[in-house]
Amino acid sequence: MSYQRLIVERHGPVGWIINNRPDRLNAYDALMRKEFPAAWAELDAAPDVRVIVHTGNGRAFQVGADVDDLDGEGIKQYQETMQTLDLKLTGWHCNVGKPVITAVNGVCAGGGLHWVADADIVIAASDATFVDPHVSIGQVSALETIALMRKMPAEAVLRMALVGSHERLTAQRAYELGMISQIVDPPDKLRDVAQELAEKVARNSPAAMRATKRALWGALEHGLTDACREGAKHLTSMWGHPDQDEGPKAFADKRTPRWLPLEPDS
């Protein structure tokens, strides 16, 4: 598929999705919303891709919905996706089984926080900033900030949501609060660091990583006991998989494991 709002690339075992509306600070319009599920599906299905990195071109990572697009047919489509909760923006929305890394460059605002909340790993350039301006323009902050409560203290999320556009989180503060796991300095090294991190992740068993993602993300939907029961199902789903024999053999032989390609999701 050809893309107009996104750039989709592959570098070794790493697939890249790059927001490409720098003149609009990468705000998403109807076309970009349409392209996201296609891009996620393409890379999730690619046998040679083991990890997916998402970032942006220009001085912003993402600033949410393009307000100029929210009229006529655009607002109708946007409202329908919200009412049905069928956003299909992030890897989590699209049920991506491979590890997803979000690499935040520059400004991340409003709806851009979807990709921070829903990624498996988030890193950010040292000059990145985070802000949720919804209430400052008379809108409700809900989906992105609800999701962020899974990885950050509730009060920190509430403060960001209620203070709105009048305060921004620096990369350092985001790191302290657990929103991101790494700060990259200088900022122009962000993509190199993201590629290096993704290649580390890509060295592991694709099947084991997919089962791990299902177990850990699924745990957020349950209480402790039920989460452990469900996690055990994902653990035992790998029993008999060739990677479980290959891992110990490769370790004993002091060689790189030869993992099986990831089979289509079931």
pLDDT at 74 (0 to 100):
61
Residue 23 lies in a domain: yes
The arithmetic mean of pLDDT across residues 139-147, rounded, is 93
Distances in Å between the Cα of 14 and the Cα atoms of 199, 205, 223 are 7, 14, 34
Residue-level pLDDT at 28: 94
| pLDDT surpassing 90 at residue 144 | yes
Specify whether 188 is located in the same domain as 233: no
Band of the pLDDT at 85, cuts 50, 70, 90? confident
Distances (CA, A) of 46 to 33, 52, 106: 21, 11, 29
Range of the domain at 122: 4-200
pLDDT value, residue 247: 87
pLDDT tens for 1-30 read 899 999 999 999 999 999 999 999 999 998
Are residue 94 and residue 181 in the same domain, yes or no?
yes
Do 231 and 143 have their domain in common? no
Residue 266 lies in a domain: no
pLDDT computed for residue 233 by the predictor:
87
Residues 30-73 pLDDT 10s: 899 999 999 999 999 999 999 999 999 999 999 998 887 766 66
Q: Examine the domain organization and report whether 62 and 163 are in the same domain.
A: yes
Indicate the helix (H) or strand (E) that contains 210.
Answer: helix 206-219
Q: Are 196 and 213 in the same domain? A: no
Task: Looking at the structure, tell me whether residues 158 and 224 fall in a common domain.
Answer: no
- Do residues 117 and 187 both lie within one domain? yes
**What pLDDT shows up at residue 146?**
95
Within-domain flag for 258 = no
Task: Determine, yes or no, domain membership for 263.
Answer: no
Number of H helices, E strands in the chain: 10, 10
173 and 220 both lie in a single domain: no
Give the pLDDT confidence of 105-129 residue by residue, as tens digits.
999 999 999 999 999 999 999 999 9
Look up the pTM and report it.
0.93
pLDDT the model gives residue 84 = 76
Q: Are residues 129 and 208 in the same domain?
A: no
pLDDT of residue 191: 98
Is the separation of the CB atoms in 211 and 237 below 8 Å?
A: yes
User: Which CATH number does the domain housing residue 193 bear?
Assistant: 3.90.226.10
**pLDDT value for 70:** 67
What pLDDT score does 73 carry? 62
Looking at the fold, whether 140 and 25 belong to one and the same domain comes out as yes
Q: How confident is the model at residue 185 (pLDDT cuts 50, 70, 90)?
A: very high
| Mean of per-residue pLDDT scores for the chain | 93
State the total domains in the chain: 2
Task: Mark which of 140, 173, 200 sits at the end of a domain.
Answer: 200
- Strand 169-170 and strand 129-131: pairing? antiparallel
Residue 52, domain member (yes or no): yes
Q: What is the mean pLDDT of residues 193-219?
A: 96
Domain co-membership, 151 together with 47: yes
Residue 90 counted as domain residue: yes
Q: E strand or H helix at 55, and its extent?
A: strand 51-56
What pLDDT was estimated at residue 81?
73
Assigned domain for 87 exists: yes
Question: Based on the domain organization, do 117 and 43 belong to the same domain?
Answer: yes
Say which DSSP state 158 is in: H
